[in-house]
Amino acid sequence: EAQVTQNPRYLITVTGKKLTVTCSQNMNHEYMSWYRQDPGLGLRQIYYSMNVEVTDKGDVPEGYKVSRKEKRNFPLILESPSPNQTSLYFCASSFTRETGANVLTFGAGSRLTVL
Amino acid sequence: AQSVTQPDIHITVSEGASLELRCNYSYGATPYLFWYVQSPGQGLQLLLKYFSGDTLVQGIKGFEAEFKRSQSSFNLRKPSVHWSDAAEYFCAVGARTGFQKLVFGTGTRLLVSP
């Protein structure tokens, strides 16, 4: 089954304790992206990757890191989490169109609470 | 820069009644347009998209949306709502050239009353 898999689905952590949210897709998609969803703000893009070893900042990258060493994986790293990073996180992927945006396939989400 | 406005935060509709969710966008040209649905505890699922051609687009689960260039709108409709349609709905726009990014609206939560 074609899917985007995120882990963990739920996590409670404490301020400053490094954590990684993994994302893996089995569709051979070039494009991958991380979004965070907050009430009243919708989905905001954190980082994206156009292909292996190609990553760039989205709209709200502060406090996050990513890497794209393999095509299928795009982990989101919080080096020193803070309470304002408490949110619902989504990973998404798509093929890269010759030009313009494409349909995203989303993971089920990872709910993170930072105490 | 692209932006999307969904003016209704919550909408309550009786089961069997018709539904229209509003979406307005700001973009320098005609963008690609999408509607996604998020059921409780789930990720986002594509309902429908508009890339070109017929401005009335049919999607899954009996939904449709109409692109109106003059109003910069892409409203989502369904003639008869079912209880299982209760969810959060997101409109999104994407550029036609260059950048792959989608910009999402803030979402509309649909409640379905018996």
- Nearest CB to A42: which of B43, B99, B104? B104
B59 touches chain A (CB under 8 A): no
- Cβ separation B43–A109 shorter than 8 A: yes
B35: closest CA of chain A, how far (Å): 10
Query: Could you read off the pLDDT of A37-81 as tens digits, one per residue?
Result: 998 899 999 999 989 999 999 999 999 999 999 999 999 999 999
> In the prediction, which pLDDT does A2 show?
84
Residue B28 has pLDDT above 90, yes or no: no
- Cβ separation A94–B46 shorter than 8 A: no
A75 touches chain B (CB under 8 A): no
Alpha carbons A22 and A108: distance in angstroms, whole number = 12
- Cβ separation A100–B34 shorter than 8 A: no
In the 3-class helix/strand/coil scheme, how is B28-72 assigned residue by residue? Answer: CCCCEEEEEEECCCCCEEEEEEECCCCCEEECHHHCEEEEEHHHC
> In the prediction, which pLDDT does A99 show?
66
Chain B residues touching residue A102 (CB < 8 angstroms): 94, 100
> In the prediction, which pLDDT does A38 show?
94
Query: Could you read off the pLDDT of B40-98 as tens digits, one per residue?
Result: 888 899 999 998 889 999 999 999 999 999 999 999 999 999 999 999 999 999 887 66
The mean pLDDT of B19-40, rounded to a whole number, is 91
Alpha carbons A54 and A41: distance in angstroms, whole number = 27
Using the structure block, give the residue that is written with the tokens 């919708």.
A42
Residue of chain B whose Cα is closest to the Cα of A36: B104
Tokens of B57: 């687009």
Looking at every residue in chain B, the average pLDDT score rounds to 92
Alpha carbons B54 and A68: distance in angstroms, whole number = 38
> With pLDDT > 90 as the criterion, what percentage of chain A qualifies?
84
More confident residue, A65 or A103: A65
B17: closest CA of chain A, how far (Å): 26
